[in-house]
Each structure stands twice: as structure tokens, then as C-alpha cells.
Amino acid sequence: MNDYEKLGVFYLGRYYDPELKQGKKELVLLESKTLVTHGLVVGMTGSGKTGLCFDIIEEAAIDGIPAILIDPKGDLGNLMLTFPGLQPADFEPWVNEEDARKQGVSTTEFAAREADKWRKGLAAWDQDGQRIARLREACEFAIYTPGSSTGAPLSLLSSFAKPPPEILEDMELLSDRVGSTAAGLLGLVGVDADPVNSRESILICNLLQNAWAGGRDLDLAGLIQEIQQPPMTKLGVLDLESFYPAKDRFTLAMRLNNLLASPNFAAWMQGEPLDISRLLYTAEGKPRVAILSIAHLGDSERMFFVTLLLNQMLGWMRAQSGTNSLRALLYMDEIFGYFPPVANPPSKKPLLSLLKQGRAFGMGVVLATQNPVDLDYKGLANIGTWFIGRLQTDRDKARVIDGLEGAMLGRGAAFDRGAVERTLAGLGSRVFLLHSVHDEGYDLIESRWAMSYLRGPLNRAQIKSLMSGARPGTAPAPAPAAPVPRASSDSGGRTASRPVLPPEVPQFFAPARANRGPFVYVPRLLGAALVRYSDAKLKVDTQQEVVTITDITDGPVPVDWAAAEELALEIRDLEKTPVEAEYSACVPAASQVKNYDKWSKEFAAWIYSSRTVSLQKCPATGLVSGPGEDQRDFMIRVQQELREQRDALSEKLRLKYAPKLATLQERIRRAQAAREREASQARRAKMDTVVSFGSTLLGAFLGRKAVSAGTLGRAASTVRSAGRSMGQAGDVERAEETIEALEKQLADLDAQFHEEAAAVVAALDARSSEIETIDVHPKKTDIQIRLVALVWLPYQQKPDGTTAPAY
């Protein structure tokens, strides 16, 4: 394993010498946290742009950083074509038959050529099948196909769900979320969604905002219903009917209903939900590279999906804690049309928000395009790392140079426009100009060979073959209908009127969620409490609202709280007025007022004895899981914390070794100068003593500007013997000995650095798996009983005589 694999750097290639037109020995090792300030890859067809983008994604995956990739062309699925064995049989199912025909060979022979080409290409860049195996082990790869079952389908049923509090509490973010969601939906049915002049857009924005402000989710069916019967009577100062008459609203509802009723749209409702956390991580917490292929969609469908996805990513990002390390990556290939300089498609605002705010949350955005003139350069001012490849037109070059000049001059750096123009004009395939706000000036780099087999866009059959048997998730099966629980005194008879109980008996009704009856109410005992769990040592102080129901029986012990079930309702959801329904009978114990005080005390005792909050603790980081946080999410936080620790320790190593390396280099330079003087005075030809220092890790890790290419090339191999001098041999020999001693010190410094770096990685790896489970019990004084009452639960009576919960 190369030394840099676990140091949080991305191996992207080698620095490039434009005069020799070849790569240098010095590796391009980009720190992963550099991409929290985002990246842009620009280059025409044949520039090597796709390969460089694959390099970035592969390196992120090896580093355990999850990614969501938006794939408009259908070729990002090539990331799943990784073959550790590099055998021709691995390549053969995926080679392009047309390419084989052009070369006049069979697909079997062409596959053998491709396997040999990839084996040699990887070897030339110090890569092999073992590194491909590490890539496959580090992350799960999956192709999602929204609106299609070719890959893993995605359901958009939750796309209009209430945003997280981070969005709801920020008026600007909420306004952007509402507006872009409405624009994306209306664009799908061909309606112009101008936010000021479109009454369709204004109505839908108000409906979404009203539902979310009231804590309600909306799906497409619910939105259609509210368009016909809005929950408001005015929009602005005009009454609803004057602003948007019912007849016209019905027309809009019909257009959306036609979309919902279309068999083609049914595919949008299948699969796992569009949930960013589930896309980024598996159920076990393993990082995932989620490839969202949208090549099969029309333009309006693509815009609709991308807009919803970006909104979901923005909400997920705002719910994360702040960090300086790279937490996740969003990559979009061919950004053309989604981030234009003048127009405002619905995708533009959420993407701009991700670029502006992503740095604070460790969210890196990488964009790629062939056409830089079609990008919003105000937005690109938020991107810190640029990879500029060969460009097609002078207009493209001028736009890129303008942007680069503005970025460098804005930081007070010198900029030679003529030199940059000449550099861009001479770029070849896989050679890029690299500019980063973290370094001065710019460099030329040559991208490494991609580990993935770049065979070009995948068709539907190939995507289906890749995902066969490897689907990351499916929609859960519907739960079976539950039987109506029977009160023990009920002989099975029901009455049309509610049983008469003393007025002191508290009674409430769970709201009926089913669309229509007939309903039957069944009595249960409800207990609701607010429970505080606190532990100063663990820095835990949280409250949980406990809402449970249990049977009231006519046995010796009428109520057994140990058999209670959680009720997915809040107290405020309970109603005082029932819907039209039949009623099951109550047992006598339910009508005795004194029992409710007794049951309330028993409820408190049951909570004290049985309710705990189980937390997980990682001693290495001191992190403690939050109440209700599952192991998957906690492990993700632990991994992020350890990554931040690694970055901090790496920074300490850098600060520790940089001065020492600079001092030794200066001393070697002076000693070499002294030797040259002695040799010149002796006027005898001497062989140069060159010391090869094989590893470029130390210099690249400490920063390219801190190490000259000549010194790095002389820093790790053994000292070659030099010719013996004549004449003033003694002075020259002493100078040689001085150089030799200094080079020995440099080699020792390199060995010491490698040892400390390995110790850092080993220590973090060993500590990452230590997880403890801790149970926190509530104190009696921290249990607040809010309600113990009789609750009527509605069940829906079906034509076949069975019932199902309707609450």
C-alpha cells in the first residue's frame, strides 16, 4: 500500500513539464479537505476531463468519503466496471462491439487488448489490481435510475415532505426550497413557473409553505386535493376566487392528476425514498457512491429531479454539524443548462446555496463541463480549485482566463494573462492547469490512469445487468392489516352510540387517517409523559415524549403497562369530537374515576423502572450518540471525527517536518556549492555525487512549494560512488563527506516521518472500533405525567369483514 493512502490526500497524477512535454516524478497529492471549497473541471471532448473526474471520485471512495453523482450522459456507471484481476474475461462483457469491429478483431481479442492496456496503464502510474480491490472494499457503488426500474428506482413520494428545522427556520432557505420545488413540478407539466407572474406558481408555493408551517407533509395526491380546496381564502389582498377561480384551479389539478395517473409516472413512485442519508450510506453505515443516472429522462424530467435532489441535499447538509474535513461529495457531469449565467432555472438557487454554504458543513461540490461560457461565474467565485483542460474555442478560453484572473487578483496574487493564454493553448490530452485558492499561482498536471474501465455510456440492459442482485434497497412491503383489539368485557357487540361514562373520566379521540369509513372506535388507555434523561458526565440532557396505549381488561389487574405499545401520535393530535362510527363496549374498570389516578402512578413507576435511553460511546473520540441515533449514524460521526483527528495530526506533522526539511536542503545546497568550487579549482573533471530519494511523499505532503523537484529526486536512494579526485583531493573529499552526512540526515528524517505517519494511521485505525453501550435511566423527579386518559382508536371496517387501523 502506498504511503499516502491513509493520509487524507487524493492521488491525481504527476506534475507536468511543458518544455519536456512529459510528467515529472513528483506526484499530485491533493488534500481531501481542499474540496470543501469545491472544484471545477473544464475541458473539451478528448481533453481527458472524464478520466480526471473519475480519478477524483475513486480517490474519495478509497478515503471512505461517500458521494452522490448526477449522471446526465450515462457514463458514470463505468465506476462499477472495476476488475481487480484485470483478466480479459472481466472486460469482455463490457467492451464496445463497434470498437472491436473497427479494429477488425473479435470481442474476445479486443477484450484481451483492453485488459492488457489497462494493466500496463495502471502499472505506469504505480497502480495494480490490489488498489482496485481496495477501491471496491472501501465503498459500495450503486446506480439509481429515477423514473425507471432499470437500475435501483427512487420514489418521490416524500419529495414534498416537510423540510428539516434548519430549512424551516431560515426564511431565505425556505423561500428557495418552496420556489424551486414548485418550479420543478410545474415545469414537468409544461407550465411556466415565473415566481411573480405565474398564479400557478404562487398558489403552489403558498400551499407548500402553509403545509410545512403547520408541520404537515404533502405528497402529489395531497397537493392536487389542496389545489381544488385550498386551506386559505385569500392570496395577497385578493380573495382566492378573484385571484384564481375554482374552474381554473380544477384545470391545473387535472394536469397534475394526469401526471399522477400516467403509467409512465408510476415508476417515479417505486423504490426507496429520495433520502440523502440513505443514498450516501448503506444500512450498516458503509459509505456509498450513488450514481444517479438521468440519461433516459426528458429535459423537463431531468430538471424536476435534479431540483428535488439538490433541495434534499441542502436540507440534509444543514442538519449536519460543522467540520473542516470533507464529509461528502456532490458531483455533476455536464452542468450545462442547470447553472447558466443569465437564466434562472429551478436548479440554480439550491446549487448556488450548496456552493455558498457547503464549506461550513464539509460538503464538497465538484462540477464538470465542456462549455465554460454556459456557467454562472458569480457562482463559480465560490469554487476554490479549478482543473482547466484543453478548450475548443477562443471564447471558452477567454471566459476561463477572465474567471482565473479574477480569482487570483482577488487574492492579491500576480497574474500574467499572456503566459496563461500560451499555457492553455499548448495543453494536450490529460494535461490540466491546476489553480487552487490554497496555493499561489498555478501548476500543470498530468492525470493518472483511471482504475475504472472507461468504456463509454452504458445502455439500459448493461445498467440492469450491473445492478442485478445488487440493489441497495427496495420499498418496504405494506404491513398486514391488524385485527381490532378486543376489550375483555366486550362480547363482540357494538353500538352506534358512545358508551356513557362519568364526565370526570377524560376521553379523547385519535384522528381518523383513512379516507372514508365505516369506522369502529375501540377503547384503550393512553399514557403520555415527558421524560428527561440527564447525565452530566456523558454530557447528555434530553427529553422524550412517551405516548403509549394499553388494554383495559376485566381481570384482577385491569391495566398492565408492561404490555403497552407506542402510539405514533402527539397529545395535540388528539381530538374531542369523534367522526361518525360504531363503538365497542368499555369494561367496568374504565368507568371508575379513581382508577385513573392509580393508573397514572403505575404509569410513572413503569417508566422509571423500564424506560432507558441506550447510548453509544466511542472512548477514542469522546463522542456519545444522541438519543434515538442508530449505530449507523453514530459510526458515521465517529468516522468523521477520526478523519478530523487525522487531518489535525497530519497538520502537526507538516509543521514539525517542514522547517527541518528546509534547513537540510539549504545545508546540502551550500555543501554542493563548496564541492563545486573545490572541483573547479582543481580543474579536474569529477563525477557528480547524486543521491536519489525515492519517496516523494514527504515533499508532496509538506507542500509542493516547500520542495524543489531536484532535491526530491535526490533524496531516498543510496549514495552512488564518486570518482576519486586528484590535485586538491583532500578538500573535495571533505566536501563530499559533508554532503554524504547531510544526505544521510535527510534520509533519516524521511524514515522518521514515515514512522510517525504510520503510527498516526495505526493508532486511529485501532481506536475506531472501540464502542461502548451505556444506558441512561430517568430520575423519578424527571418524569412528568402529562395525561392518562381513555382514548378511542378508529378502525376501518372493510367489505370482507376485516378491520385495519385508521389512526
Considering just the CA atoms, what is the radius of gyration of the chain in Å? 33
CA distance 253 to 105: 58
Of the pLDDT bands very low, low, confident and very high (cuts 50, 70, 90), residue 483 is very low
Question: What number is the average pLDDT over the span 513-531?
Answer: 87
Among 410, 441, 484, 402, residue whose Cα is nearest residue 802: 484
d(CA 538, CA 543): 15
The confidence score (pLDDT) of residue 229 equals: 75
Q: What is the pLDDT of residues 273-303, one digit of tens each?
A: 888 999 999 998 999 999 999 999 989 889 9
In angstroms, the first-to-last Cα distance of the chain is 57
Cross-strand pairs, 272 = 154
Q: Which amino acid is at 731?
A: D
How far, in Å, are 461, 658, 664, 691 from residue 742 at the CA level?
A: 62, 16, 7, 11
The H or E element that residue 332 is part of is strand 328-332
Q: How many CB atoms lie within 10 A of CB 295?
A: 18
What is the Cα–Cα distance from 647 to 8, expressed in whole angstroms?
7
Grid coordinates belonging to 645: 483527528
Say yes or no to pLDDT of 576 above 50.
yes
* Residue 569 dihedral angles phi and psi, to the nearest 5°: -140, 155
Whether the CB-CB separation of 227 and 202 falls below 8 Å is answered with: no
Cα separation, 260 vs 257, whole angstroms: 5
Strand 565-566 and strand 540-550: the pairing is antiparallel
State pLDDT tens for residues 191-238: 877 777 889 999 999 999 999 988 888 888 778 878 877 888 888 888
What distance in Å separates the CA atoms of residue 28 and residue 624, rounded to the nearest whole number? Answer: 37
pLDDT tens string 33-57 = 999 999 999 999 999 999 999 999 9
> Is the per-residue pLDDT at 555 higher than 70?
yes
Average the pLDDT over 594-612 and give the result. Answer: 92
pLDDT at 412 exceeding the cut of 60: yes
Residue 61 has pLDDT above 60, yes or no: yes
Q: Which DSSP helix (H) or strand (E) runs through 361? A: helix 348-361
In this structure, what DSSP letter does residue 684 have?
-
Positions of E strands within 666-778: 691-693, 715-719, 772-776
Q: Which three cell numbers stand for residue 804?
A: 385495519
Least confident stretch, 247-261, 542-556, 571-585, 694-708: 694-708
Evaluate whether 40 touches 364 at the Cβ level (below 8 Å).
no
Residues ≥6 apart with Cβ < 8 Å to 769 = none
Cα–Cα distances in Å, from 522 out to 562, 689, 806?
20, 94, 11
Q: CB under 8 Å to 578, separation ≥6 — which residues?
A: 498, 509, 521, 792
pTM score of the predicted model: 0.73
CA distance 761 to 646: 7
* pLDDT of the residue at 71: 96
Give per-residue pLDDT as tens, 686-721.
444 344 444 445 666 666 544 444 444 444 443 344
- Cα torsion angle, 44, 48, 50, 52, sign: negative
Q: Which long-range contacts (C-beta less than 8 Å, at least 24 apart) are formed by 695-698?
A: 695/3, 695/750, 695/754, 696/25, 696/26, 696/27, 697/2, 697/3, 697/4, 697/7, 697/27, 697/29, 697/753, 697/754, 697/757, 698/657, 698/661, 698/749, 698/750, 698/753, 698/754
Work out the pLDDT band at 411, boundaries 50, 70, 90.
low
